[in-house]
Structure 1
Amino acid sequence: MYEYRCRQCNLVFEELVSSASLNTPPCPKCKGDQTEKILSSFSGIVSGGSGGAQPMQGHGGCGGSGFS
Structure 2
Amino acid sequence: MNYRAKRKGKRTELTSLIIKEENCDYCGCCVAVCPVDCIELEEKKISIDMIKCTLCGNCPYACPVSALVGETA
Question: Per residue, is there more strand in 1 or in 2?
Answer: 2
- Higher radius of gyration, 1 or 2: 1
Tell me which of the two structures has the higher relative contact order, counting C-alpha pairs closer than 8 angstroms and 6 or more residues apart. Answer: 2
Question: Per residue, is there more helix in 1 or in 2?
Answer: 2
Q: Give TM-score, length-normalised by structure 1.
A: 0.23
Q: Give TM-score, length-normalised by structure 2.
A: 0.22
